[in-house]
Chains A and B, each alone.
Chain A
Amino acid sequence: MSASASAAALAGRFGRDVLRVHESCGDTIVLVARDRAHEILAWLRDDPAQRFDYLTDVTAVDYRDPGLPLEVVYQLRSLSRKVDLRVKIPLDKQADLIVDSVVDLWRGADWLEREVYDMFGVTFTGHPDLRRILMWETYAEGYPLRKEFPLRGQFSRAEQTRQALGANPEAHYSLEELSIAEAFGDLPPEMRERLARGERGELR
């Protein structure tokens, strides 16, 4: 069954929830409604005639035209049948950007969905650990790959520099580390002094 046949089968089974089927540059693309997207993707994975067992990629597209919806894109592949299919979920940008997570179907979607959340601000309900991945967790400028985000960032250069110097993304420590830090009182006085001044690794 070719990709276009899969798309036709999908349209036959899910009717109105398959919004549009089209082809571009030889790739078959199916647009589906958000509410049944998870069900549709699960069917594509599990139906014996479809068997799209491999999730190649999850990403999103924000168009330059602000009237167009933001699209969440799933690139699927059936390893056994050697067929590719792209499934897209259009999301109205005026409403909340929420879709169901597919981590329960493909574990590989874990970091990919985190990246879409990080870069586009799409919330994936049911994701086990949805937080920023490439940007740091306290990043406050917004979602970098959205079109309204300017290339040089939302904040001024001075503010960006101030935040970058103030942020310390490597200083996430566990309780264990903090309990070790309680040994501070036992340290030699000059080391205590040096640590209190914030100097590190200075040799005398």
Chain B
Amino acid sequence: MSTRTVELDLATPGLDAAGRPSRVPLGMVDPAAMDRPGFGEEHMLINIGPQHPATHGVLRLVVELEGEVVRRVVPHIGYLHSGFEKLGEYRHYNQIIPLTDRTDYLSPMANNVGLALAAEKLMGIEVTERCQVLRVIACELSRIISHLVWLGTTGIDLGAYTPFLWSFYERERVYNLQEAWTGARLTTSLTRVGGMMADVPEGWEQGLREFCRTFPNTLREVDTMFTRNAIWCGRTQGVGTITRDDAINWSLSGPMLRASGVDYDVRKDRPYLGYDGYDFDVPIGEHGDIYDRYRVRLEEMFQSVRILEQAGDRLARLKDAPLNVDDPRVILPPKRRAMSDMEAMIFHFKQVMDGVAAPVGEAYMGIENPKGELGYYFVSDGSAKPVRWRIRPPSFINLACLPKLCEGVLLSDVIAINASVDIVMGEIDR
């Protein structure tokens, strides 16, 4: 990092009126670097993205190469910045839920759950058992679809096309379940503060059971295809390693952290939604390389199926249990009652027009999302809209260590390492 390559701005079209290349220096320019002997003779800078399929979104990487060896990687982000945190300050708590669909758009249901949990922690609301079970199902289905996208696209990045088709086929089946439940494939907006937007439709549990029964077969096929595959092992083992202490120091979370051997899973360490009552294991890697991240994510999908099976049993047991909390100040009355009962109409009106006020205070709620620890931090001044809504974006923090992971690797490994971080730009740029 000591030799700083100069970045200059070559504005479009890059040429001045006379047809000569125009050079507009940026604030970062270090003129001394240009005079250094040998500067610019051996190193080459290449630009990957922001429109490049292997960057998994509008990520731009400027890579400094010495021959084929990477000396420096500078990620540039922000192309998808939408100001969600600012928008959240102008909305009621329930109105923020649609914004969370659009942050990590590969696991919208889990984001909805996290937001509802954070708002409930702030307001001191305890949800019903059936609601908790449904939220666990939402979180684990999200984990599976997010990891399937990761698996398929990483395979493509490394030249394996077939597992992509398998994983997207399975993902489609989860999307069918998701669509039957929420009516949407991406903009699910599944939760509400104190409950859920909708219960699962009649017969939905059978679809879930069928998925849990057949999905592990595909995972085992992927396992056969990849785990002992010479090309896969050669491209991933020992590449992009990070030690246990470094992973903690860089604040990594989720599979990135666990692949380095750190036993930290929010579901176990700070249980929410009754996760401590489910029987599942947390896979831990030991080398912290791409291969271990693959093994951790693959095993997490098997474990998610285990959790889904247990949750399915609980769902059958809680068939007629209430879904939402019994509090008319928080949960909207049924539409029929709101149209015929004066009191219900008043509650409906108050909630829609004024929103649900949270007491003065602040709450941080972290959940184990597919990408890592997703945290929502609310600060309330007693009104129905938060003073501050902060998203702790797991893939933003995981991506920050990409320059470290890429020091001294080959250019082709940058693609593999970037894929192994499992980023989603909607969440990084927010």
> Could you tell me which A residues sit within 8 Å of B by CB distance?
24-27, 29, 53-57, 59, 61-65, 73, 75, 79, 82, 84, 86, 106-112, 119, 131-137, 144-145, 149, 151, 168-179, 181-182, 184, 192, 195-200
Contacts and interface: CB of A to CB of B under 8 A. Distances in A.
Contact of B361 (A25, A119, A149, A198): A25
B109 to A, nearest CB: 23
B40 A179 contact: yes
A108 B6 contact: no
B274 interface: no
Contacts of B377: 57, 59, 73, 75
Contact of A24 (B9, B40, B362, B387): B362
Contacts of B234: none
The 5 closest A-B pairs by CB, nearest first: A108-B251, A198-B13, A174-B45, A25-B363, A24-B361
The secondary-structure label for the interface of chain B is mixed
A157 to B, nearest CB: 15
Output the residue of A108, A151, A178 with the most chain B CB within 10 A. A108
Given A173-B8, A173-B10, A195-B14, A108 B252 contact: yes
B251 A145 contact: no
A107 B249 contact: yes
A135 B397 CA distance: 17
B430 A61 contact: no
Nearest to B396: A111
B26 interface: yes
Contacts of B40: 175-176, 179
26 contacts: A25-B124, A56-B251, A57-B390, A59-B392, A61-B387, A63-B379, A63-B381, A63-B387, A82-B270, A106-B249, A111-B400, A133-B77, A133-B78, A134-B430, A135-B81, A151-B87, A171-B9, A172-B76, A175-B5, A175-B39, A176-B43, A177-B47, A178-B21, A178-B23, A184-B20, A184-B21
B251 A25 contact: no
B12 A198 contact: yes
B15 A195 contact: yes
A175 B8 contact: yes
B203 to A, nearest CB: 39
Given A175-B8, A181-B21, 6 more contacts: A56-B366, A59-B388, A84-B364, A111-B397, A179-B40, A195-B13
A168 B5 CA distance: 20
B122 interface: yes
A170 B50 contact: yes
A93 B361 CA distance: 21
Contacts of A26: 121, 363
Interface string B309-322: 00000000000000
A26 B124 CA distance: 10
A56 B354 CA distance: 33
B12 A168 contact: yes
B62 A107 contact: no
Output the residue of B40, B269, B388 with the most chain A CB within 10 A. B388
A7 B379 CA distance: 20
Nearest to A119: B85
B233 interface: no
Contacts of B404: 107
B250 interface: yes
Nearest to A136: B78
B402 to A, nearest CB: 10
Given A108-B249, A108-B252, A144-B83, A75 B269 contact: no
Contacts of B77: 133-134
B81 A134 contact: yes
Contacts of A197: 13
B248 interface: yes
Contacts of A64: 381, 387
B86 interface: yes
Interface in B246-294: 246, 248-252, 262, 264, 269-270
A64 B78 CA distance: 26
A134 B9 contact: no
A136 B377 CA distance: 25
Contact of A59 (B6, B14, B390, B399): B390
A25 B377 CA distance: 12
A25 B122 contact: yes
B200 interface: no
Nearest to B385: A64
A135 B364 contact: no
A174 B7 contact: yes
B60 interface: yes
B19 A107 contact: no
Contacts of A62: 388
Contacts of B21: 178, 181-182, 184
A184 B10 CA distance: 14
B355 interface: no
B248 A53 contact: yes
Contacts of A106: 249-251
Contacts of B90: 151
Contacts of B78: 132-136, 169
